[in-house]
Amino acid sequence: MNHSQDNTTPAIAEPSRDQIRRWRRYLADEIAEAEIYRVIARRKESPEREILLGLATAEKRHEDHWRLLLGEHAQNPPRPSPHRILLRWLAKVFGSVFILALAQRAESDSPYAKDQHATPAMVADEAIHEEVVRGLASRGREQLAGNFRAAVFGANDGLVSNLALVMGIGATGVATSVVLFTGIAGLLAGALSMAAGEFVSVRSQRELLEASSPTQVTLEAAEHLDLDQNELVLVYRARGMNEEDAVHRAQERLGYFSCDCNPSFSAHPDGSQGPVDYSGDHEAIGSPWSAAFSSFCFFASGAIIPVIPYLFGMSGLPAVALSAVLVGLALLCTGGVVGLLSGASPFKRGLRQLLIGFGAAAVTYLLGLLFGANLA
């Protein structure tokens, strides 16, 4: 099939004022996007640098397309859209996975599919660009996944749980000092609970990994085994080898073969370099003390926010309102960051976090009002 006609620029008469305005906006955005990819590429190693520069080259082709249609109207293109301006600034300052996630959203929002003066090749390019940027961003997402998840969920738990606690107690009409000390107690109790839970979780994972890691007992016991009842075969079958591989490995360990044909199931691959190092698996899980400390800090950083008005001596409805506003802003931020990294709408994710947090706080506030009324 011949695609040459699919990529040609549609022939049109003198463009209208609306077309000129729209194409000049496209031109400005293409120039900005190419610069964004070049800026990020400067901070990357190969092959990511070549991939980003390839995207910049493709954006240059799109730029040339709009210049050709605009003719003399391509002179002095306008400023790009605010979204592209923000992206370009962020790329110069950070150049991180957040920018790639934003760029992914920008590529997915391309208007070319609905514009008859954008060629099919350009429409296809934009769809492919989104997948390329998605792939680049996914590497950073994988690196951030563990720590980022702990940070967001820890801070979010602190925000929601302590806001609900402070609002519930505050609604009963007790003294400001009681609300303050209740909030601090909630912060400490929640943070210590999170830290203890994370410590136990990570420590248990490490212990399970240590219990599952092969030992060198096969080397130490091999010379004393009964050759007719060779239980080394059972050891290697238990590690996942099939019957043939297990028999071969057992004969290697007993000295019948000098090769090491399948070292992946052995705790001591070649008999000379020492046992296999499984520390990498432990490092991937992390230290239980460091996980506990991080969880404590993440939860406390969120839980302190609802208490701030009371730390400065505020009381009553103004303190409750300011606490809710501060927590609301924090929830919008955490939700927005999740949205950015997931390639979704930051506003929608932030709004979702806000509604969930305020929903929990509203329930406890109403219960506090009810309880306070009953006490009165």
Q: What percent of the chain has pLDDT over 70?
A: 71
pLDDT at residue 43 greater than cutoff 90: no
- Is residue 152's pLDDT more than 50? yes
Alpha carbon separation from 221 to 30, 152, 235, 322 (Å, rounded): 69, 50, 12, 70
The overall pTM is greater than 0.95: no
The pLDDT, as a whole number, for residue 376 is 47
Residue 77: the pLDDT is: 84
Measured N-to-C along each axis, helices 82-93 and 17-42 cross at an angle, to the nearest 10 degrees, of: 10
Task: Identify the pLDDT of residue 292.
Answer: 82
CA proximity to 63, closest of 148, 125, 6: 125
Which strand (E) or helix (H) includes residue 346?
Answer: helix 346-375
Average confidence (pLDDT) over 254-267: 56
The answer, yes or no, to whether residue 107 has pLDDT greater than 80, is no
Per-residue model confidence (pLDDT) at position 27:
92
List Cβ<8 Å contacts ≥24 apart for 75-79.
Answer: 77/24, 77/27, 77/28, 77/31, 78/24, 78/25, 78/28, 79/28
Which residues are CB-contacts of 151 (< 8 A; sequence separation ≥ 6)? 294, 298
pLDDT at 198: 79
DSSP letter, residue 269: S
